Amino acid sequence: MSTPTAICLDTEVFERLNFNFAATMLQEFVKLCKEREVNLLVPGPIKDEIRRHMFDRAVELDAALDKVEHDARRKCSFLESWDRYPKVPKELDRRARLRTLCVDAWDGFARQVTTDHLTYQGVSLAAIMSKYHFMHPPFAPGEKRKEFPDAISLAILDVYARKHNTTVGVVSGDGGMKAGCDGYQNLLYFPSLASLLESFLAEDERVDLYVNLINASIDELNGVLSQEVSENGSFHHNDRSYKKVRDVLLGVDVSSFDVIGLGINECTIAFSAGFESEHELSWEDFEPDGRPYEHEGWIKEEFGFGGTAKIRFSADDQELVSCDQVEIDTHNFSLSKTPRSW
């Protein structure tokens, strides 16, 4: 399979990274585009969807800040002189300001690479409606029945590929997009940004060398990730009647990883990992006569997470030296099990 000369990133890719355009994964993508002269393609439906999802998150945060300020005024007005007292500016055009910030953030990322914003020109509405009526991908019975944005985006990308006589990579964790790409000869599907980056690096002999060195020292990577979760992870129970007494991390295990960036005696990887942990909880109950008393008990949970890390090797590329610059996709882990036996 030839590597594509242009790439489309589905909205889901950015959502998975919480629209953090400075994330290592996206910066490796920017580096790839510059070094390999790969264009970023943004069909109209995806561009609108990205901006809408960013704005929805901004509005959600704005509402949360409003609530915090309201609660502060209602319960703790005596702390107004405190430098951390929440004060939300009373802007009449606050929503317009939020929309502008979202657009600026997206445009700032798009300007880092050669970006083609693709219009609807050349798309056959009749062909898309035919796919819809006959339930051809990305349409499917049930939740995927009205996947018009995906169908139109894929058609736009196909127009581009045929016009430029090239192949286009489509990155999405959405299985519907994969099925949709299968219907176009010039669209190549990648389930993740990590898999795309790895495909471009596959011809470099250092990839296999570094993969073997990392596998041989996987315990060191597991240890670094265990330390990251232990020092910066936060556990809370979904049921507020439980109070957390202490946490015991039983160790992190990396299940898979991809090399997504190469440097001199170093590489960047994207990994998937998981761990088990034990948690001591306390909760209040009542005696038959109504007197309260406190229970304590333990639960055991399993969690999964992903992230990126920089791996450094010796000058002769013969051994792994360090694992650092770790970024994980979440530091917040929700407990759901209960120590109660009834």
- Residue 342 pLDDT level (bands cut at 50, 70, 90): very low
Which pLDDT value is given to residue 184? 87
Whether omega for the bond prior to residue 138 falls within 30 degrees of 0, making it cis, is: yes
Contact 149, 8 (CB under 8 A): no
pLDDT tens, 238-279?
Answer: 988 899 899 999 989 999 999 988 878 888 899 999 999 999
CA-CA distance, 16 to 144, in Å (whole number)?
A: 20
The pLDDT, as a whole number, for residue 294 is: 85
CA 292 distance to own-chain centroid: 44
Give CA–CA dist 124/194, Å, rounded: 32
Instruction: Quick: pLDDT tens for 146-177.
Output: 789 999 999 999 999 989 988 899 999 988 88
Q: Which residues contact 31 (CB under 8 A, 6 or more apart)?
A: 261
Per-domain residue ranges of the chain: 6-200, 204-335
Dist. CA 292–CA 87, nearest whole Å: 40
Would you place residue 179 in the very low, low, confident or very high pLDDT band (cuts 50, 70, 90)? Answer: confident
pTM (global) more than 0.75: no
pLDDT above 70 covers a percentage of the chain that reads: 97
Please report which residue ranges of the chain form alpha helices under DSSP H. 11-16, 24-36, 44-75, 94-110, 125-133, 148-164, 175-181, 193-201, 206-216, 218-232
Describe the chain by its helix, strand, coil percentages, rounded to 5: 40, 30, 30
Q: What is the dihedral of CA 138, 143, 149, 151, to 10 degrees?
A: 10
**Counting runs of H as helices and runs of E as strands, what totals does the chain give?**
10, 11
Mean pLDDT of 314-342: 87
